[in-house]
Amino acid sequence: MNFTRWSARLPGTQRRAAARTEQTASPDRRGEGSVPAARAEQLTDEPPSVPAVDELRVREVLDRVPSLVALVHGPDHRIAYVNDAYTTAFGVRPLGERAREALPELDALGLFPLLDQVQRSGKPRTVKSRKAPDGRSYTFTCTPVAQGDGKGGSDGRGVLVFATDVTDHAEAAERLRASERRQRETAVTLQRSLLPQELEEPDDLRVAATYHPGGTEAAVGGDWYDVITLGGGRTALVIGDVMGRGVRAAAVMGQLRTAVRAYARLDLPPHEVLQLLDGLAAEIDANQIATCAYAVHDPNEGKLVYASAGHLPILVRDENGTVLRAEEPTGPPLGTGGWMHSSGSIPLGPGSTAVLYTDGLVERRDADLDEGIAALERALAGATGTPQVVCDRLVRSAGVTPDHDDDVAVLVLQHPARTGPDSELFRNAALELLGGVEAAPRARAFASGVLTSWRFPADLHDLGVLAASELVANSLQHGTPPMRLRLRRTDRRLIIEVTDGDDHLPRRRRAEPGDESGRGIAIVATIASNWGCRRTPGGGKAVWCEFALPRTQGT
């Protein structure tokens, strides 16, 4: 193969050759008195002239470049030329042979379809960082060239293959990717360790949750959830999302989750919990904000009381399959400050299912957020089964895959509709107390009758009557009407609660021998498994205690 014919047709070669011819045919004409060229060279400080680039032979240049160069021609890509660097990398290649057989390294790299495309289109193409059989990585640029006058049809077209060794860059990029993978694994490990390892199991609710970190190309976020039993049959549920990525977001999430558990133990209304979290979030990191939804379920009320700090609405599917959306109230995210949060409520009766979730489940770059929430509502309307089954179905319906571009957290809770023998394990009884000297005896008689009808053993019956008597006596002495005594049993515990109209919360104290009062709460705290108190909406308080049932009582 005559390489000179090909080199003359390389891009820019004809233009430079024409320029040289024009310069040679038009010598410099100087007028009289002009300084001879030799004399002019002596009088200047310019360095001696060097050969122009156009005067160099293309083959000599390509033979010396460290990059790999190969030239193929014709529809079957026969080898016209390979330079020394190519030969050093892959060995001697016979000229005139078909490249598919003689250049197996290009076949291994999948470049032959690219050669065909370049030859057909007449446009250069580049593929980046392909690892060759010699173990090194190259970026290949394929450029079309023409033979002779370019009138030879397809046989007159060739492709110049130019490969630059980018092994060092590729290895550096791989080290960077490995470092990013390690950082992501660290963040995922931290994230999972800060999430509940095992959800608490409330008496009256069945719960399940799932967490899916973003795909390998997305740094893990700060999504979290929690289930917190408050005592007295009440349960707090929380879900949140720290705006950020990586270890820092996971660490902030862990601090907020710990704070939520601490504030929940105060048994405050949901909006007051968010108010405390808002101030804490600003102290943790003023540059990071978080969304959060905090809800409390009380089986006696049949509803979910909640507050939201910029979080997505809770969805509830009732026993008939109708899905409700908890729209308002919604305040700004945590950490913004200057906002008074407020609580709302949504029905959650027996047979209902509620879903709390983060934006990764419903938010897509190519769709409006409301469309994602509406799609989740439709999926929830048809999702039946256990909470875990519902969780899995909602995640699948949202198209969440291992390479999903955002974290996803989902918390599902169900208030079962109990029937048959199971319903006998969940009972309620209440008595309105009008006050006066007859209130205490009436309360004791009522508690004794109820506990007898529930077939409690004698020792638990007596402890329950004593606790009810002490709580009622405390309310009569320190509280105000209206007053109510409520007894509730589940499959695991007996709960006794007294409410009144005074919002002063009692505290346990040590009574001196001469004191006539102050022993009631101490007695209750001693005989009960747990006790507590909280303020009720609209003013007033509730004081409760609970007794763990023997295993035979919960079956």
Cα separation, 518 vs 505, in Å, equals 13
What distances in angstroms separate CA 10 from CA 14, 17, 108, 147, 213, one per listed residue? 8, 11, 27, 9, 52
Give me the residues paired with residue 356 across strands: 411
Least confident of 4-13, 86-95, 302-311, 429-438: 4-13
Looking at the predicted structure, is the pLDDT value of residue 12 above 50?
no
Model confidence band, residue 25 (pLDDT cutoffs 50, 70, 90): very low
Burial class, 340, CB count within 10 angstroms (exposed 0-12 / middle 13-18 / buried 19+): exposed
Model confidence band, residue 141 (pLDDT cutoffs 50, 70, 90): very high
DSSP string, 344-408: EEEE--TTEEEEEE-GGGT-BTTB-HHHHHHHHHHHHHT--SSHHHHHHHHHHHTT--TT-SS-E
Looking at the predicted structure, is the pLDDT value of residue 339 above 90?
no
What distances in angstroms separate CA 348 from CA 303, 330, 385, 490, one per listed residue? 4, 19, 17, 18
Tokens 């509280």 — which residue? 479
Share of the chain above pLDDT 70, in %: 84
Mean pLDDT of 387-413: 90
449 Cα distance to chain centroid: 53
Query: How many other C-beta atoms lie within 10 A of the C-beta of residue 39?
Result: 10
Model confidence band, residue 274 (pLDDT cutoffs 50, 70, 90): very high
Q: Are 80 and 95 in contact (CB under 8 A)?
A: yes
Looking at the predicted structure, is the pLDDT value of residue 49 above 50?
yes
Backbone angles phi, psi at 330, to 5 degrees: -135, 120
Q: Which is higher by pLDDT, 16 or 312? A: 312
Least confident of 106-110, 138-142, 144-148, 392-396: 144-148
Least confident of 164-168, 351-355, 410-414: 164-168
Mean pLDDT, the chain, whole residue set: 84
* pLDDT, position 45: 60
* pLDDT, position 148: 56
Cα separation, 130 vs 106, in Å, equals 10
HSE of 304 in the Cβ direction (CA atoms, 13 Å)?
Answer: 33
Looking at the predicted structure, is the pLDDT value of residue 371 above 90?
yes
Mean pLDDT of 120-133: 89
* pLDDT, position 364: 85
Amino acid, res. 407: D
Amino acid, res. 114: L
Cα separation, 315 vs 387, in Å, equals 14
Least confident of 175-179, 236-240, 369-373: 175-179
Condensed to tens digits (0 to 9), the pLDDT of residues 421-479 reads: 878 889 999 999 987 778 889 999 999 999 999 999 999 999 999 999 999 999 998 88
* pLDDT, position 38: 43
**What region does 119 belong to: left with phi over 0, alpha with psi -120 to 50, or beta?**
alpha
3-state secondary structure 451-490: HHHCCCCHHHHHHHHHHHHHHHHHHHHHCCCCEEEEEEEC
Radius of gyration of the chain (CA): 40
Cα separation, 263 vs 301, in Å, equals 22
Cα separation, 288 vs 333, in Å, equals 10
Q: Are 142 and 114 in contact (CB under 8 A)?
A: yes
360 Cα distance to chain centroid: 6
State the pairing for strand pair 408-415/323-325. Answer: unpaired
Q: Are 274 and 319 in contact (CB under 8 A)?
A: no
Secondary-structure breakdown of the chain: helix, strand, coil percentages, each rounded to the nearest 5: 35, 25, 35
Condensed to tens digits (0 to 9), the pLDDT of residues 222-253 reads: 889 999 999 899 999 999 998 877 778 878 88
Model confidence band, residue 16 (pLDDT cutoffs 50, 70, 90): very low
| Residues 6 or more apart whose Cβ sits within 8 Å of residue 241 | 221, 222, 223, 224, 290, 291, 292, 311, 358, 359, 407, 409
Backbone angles phi, psi at 517, to 5 degrees: -145, 180
Cα separation, 178 vs 200, in Å, equals 37
* pLDDT, position 357: 97
Cα separation, 232 vs 547, in Å, equals 10
Q: Hey, what are 105's tokens?
A: 């390294």
What distances in angstroms separate CA 27 from CA 21, 38, 156, 217, one per listed residue? 11, 15, 37, 64
Cα separation, 15 vs 383, in Å, equals 72
Tokens 């295993």 — which residue? 551
| C-alpha closest to that of 252 among 217, 226, 218, 289 | 289
| C-alpha closest to that of 166 among 216, 111, 127, 114 | 127
* pLDDT, position 510: 63
Mean pLDDT of 389-418: 90
* pLDDT, position 51: 65
| DSSP code, position 207 | E
Least confident of 11-15, 176-180, 379-383, 437-441: 11-15
Provide the 3-class DSSP secondary structure of residue 170: helix
Cα separation, 130 vs 165, in Å, equals 10
Give me the residues paired with residue 541 across strands: 500, 535
